[in-house]
């Protein structure tokens, strides 16, 4: 059956429709009732409520931003659901009930069942079953759900992952209005110890004062995974609620194929402009974003592109920069050409990590209209504090029984890198480019 309309739903309320028109062009229309609702929030900053209708380019970029950045996964889903792998609308017709943020996308004929659902629909799993799923996911990144699962989900990103509900120590596959609460990423053959790397870098960022997603390392039937609590899910008065979010590519109506600045995607200045224009605490969020850029520079976090920065929406029109997520250091992998490592966003005039100096940061801060000396002082403070925090964090993780070899080597690599970059910040060249 061909579906030509998807309903966008937030907390059981239909907020608008995505219509597929001739030549597969899309259009998004808010409902009049939603635009008048006192607690209405936009599907995206790129689709403000002041306009009822939004064109293909904007809604198409938003929909693609909900899907994995993995061609194998998209091809498998396309084959399973008999749609094109290049058709975001068609894919989300089948997997749009649990997305990033508060929105659910459902066909019109599914809307009543979703809105009328009272009891939770959860397929409970034991640790053996989760381990089996993680092993399957490690072999095949498209194995996010089984054909017998009621609940389907979609999460952006290139890494294999699945999403589950955790409640009272139990894990399950939810469906309908019941959301997932945690993201599970298995080990990956391409980058040994990536789960431990991400967990360590998230914890290190937290120790340095940055807001980050909560993570833990867990073994399910012997299968290691990083488990990340979803910050777009909250419990309120006994109810589990979805909180709306979008990444910075979606906010700027940029296709995820251009998530890196070098591919034409958003850079620091574009993101800072969004924060200044829309954040409920613009000064604090701009400072946090600058600090996040600096942290990724210090740890050689080369994947901090615009899709790995997000906004959270709250009641009363509140918008805030979301906690950091998907952190990781390239220093742990000698096979990567360390002299070629590049930032996902340009600092001053350069991307290359080894070339970034104090004057590049000064250029960025000046262009962003950020007070230079306080920002540089914060960056230098992070560089100075990082080695001791990395050493202490590694000791604590060893005491907790985490023994992957990457946790032996990474802390020293991070410490050496931070000291070297801190030295660069202390240099005052006689030029500025």
Report the catalytic residues: 303
Q: What does the alpha-carbon distance between residue 165 and residue 171 come to, in Å, rounded to a whole number? A: 6
Place of tokens 């080695």: 387
Q: Which strand ranges, in their side-by-side order, compose the sheet holding 319-321?
A: 245-247, 310-313, 319-321
Sequence length of the chain is 433
Non-local CB neighbours of 374 within 8 Å, separated by 6+ positions: none
Angstrom distances, CA of residue 151 to CA of 72, 163, 227, 250: 21, 10, 19, 25
Residue 134: helix, strand or coil by DSSP? helix
Residue 38: helix, strand or coil by DSSP? coil
Burial of 272 per CB tally in 10 Å (0-12, 13-18, 19+):
buried
**Own/partner pairs for 73-76, CB < 8 Å, 24+ apart?**
73/141, 73/142, 73/144, 73/160, 75/142, 76/140, 76/142
Q: What does the alpha-carbon distance between residue 39 and residue 16 come to, in Å, rounded to a whole number? A: 15
List of E strands, 210-366: 215-220, 223-229, 233-236, 239-242, 245-247, 310-313, 319-321, 342-347, 350-352
């Amino acid at each position: 059956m061909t579906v030509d309309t998807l309903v966008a739903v937030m907390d059981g309320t239909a907020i608008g429709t995505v219509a597929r028109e001739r030549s597969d062009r899309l259009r998004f229309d808010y409902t009049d009732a939603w635009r008048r609702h006192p607690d209405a929030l936009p599907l995206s900053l790129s689709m403000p409520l002041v306009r009822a209708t939004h064109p293909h380019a904007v809604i198409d970029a938003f929909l693609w931003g909900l899907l994995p950045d993995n061609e194998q996964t998209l091809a498998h889903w396309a084959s399973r659901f008999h749609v094109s792998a290049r058709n975001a609308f068609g894919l989300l017709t089948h997997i749009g009930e649990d997305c990033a943020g508060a929105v659910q996308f459902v066909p019109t004929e599914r809307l009543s069942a979703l809105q009328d659902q009272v009891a939770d629909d959860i397929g409970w799993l034991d640790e053996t079953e989760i381990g089996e799923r993680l092993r399957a996911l490690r072999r095949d990144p498209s194995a996010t759900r089984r054909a017998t699962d009621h609940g389907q989900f979609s999460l952006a990103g290139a890494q294999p992952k699945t999403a589950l509900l955790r409640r009272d120590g139990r894990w399950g596959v939810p469906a309908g209005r019941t959301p997932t609460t945690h993201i599970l990423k298995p080990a990956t053959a391409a980058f040994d110890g990536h789960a431990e790397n991400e967990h360590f870098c998230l914890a290190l960022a937290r120790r340095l004062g940055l807001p980050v997603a909560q993570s833990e390392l867990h073994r399910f039937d012997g299968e290691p995974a990083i488990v990340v609590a979803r910050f777009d899910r909250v419990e309120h008065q006994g109810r589990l609620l979805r909180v709306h979010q979008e990444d910075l590519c979606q906010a700027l109506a940029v296709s995820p194929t251009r998530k890196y600045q070098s591919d034409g995607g958003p850079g620091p200045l574009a993101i800072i402009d969004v924060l200044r224009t829309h954040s409920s605490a613009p000064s604090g969020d701009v400072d946090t974003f600058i600090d996040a850029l600096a942290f990724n520079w210090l740890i050689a976090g080369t994947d901090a592109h615009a899709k790995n920065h997000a906004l959270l929406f709250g009641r009363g029109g509140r918008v805030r920069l979301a906690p950091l997520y998907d952190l990781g250091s390239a220093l742990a992998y000698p096979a990567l050409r360390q002299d070629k490592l590049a930032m996902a966003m340009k600092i001053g005039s350069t991307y290359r990590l080894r070339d970034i100096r104090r004057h590049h940061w000064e250029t960025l801060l000046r262009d962003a209209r950020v007070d230079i000396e306080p920002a540089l002082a914060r960056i230098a403070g992070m560089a100075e504090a990082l080695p001791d925090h990395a050493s202490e964090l590694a000791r604590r993780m060893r005491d907790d029984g985490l023994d992957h070899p990457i946790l032996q080597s990474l802390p020293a690599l991070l410490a050496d890198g931070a000291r070297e970059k801190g030295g660069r910040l202390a240099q005052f060249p006689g030029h500025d480019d």
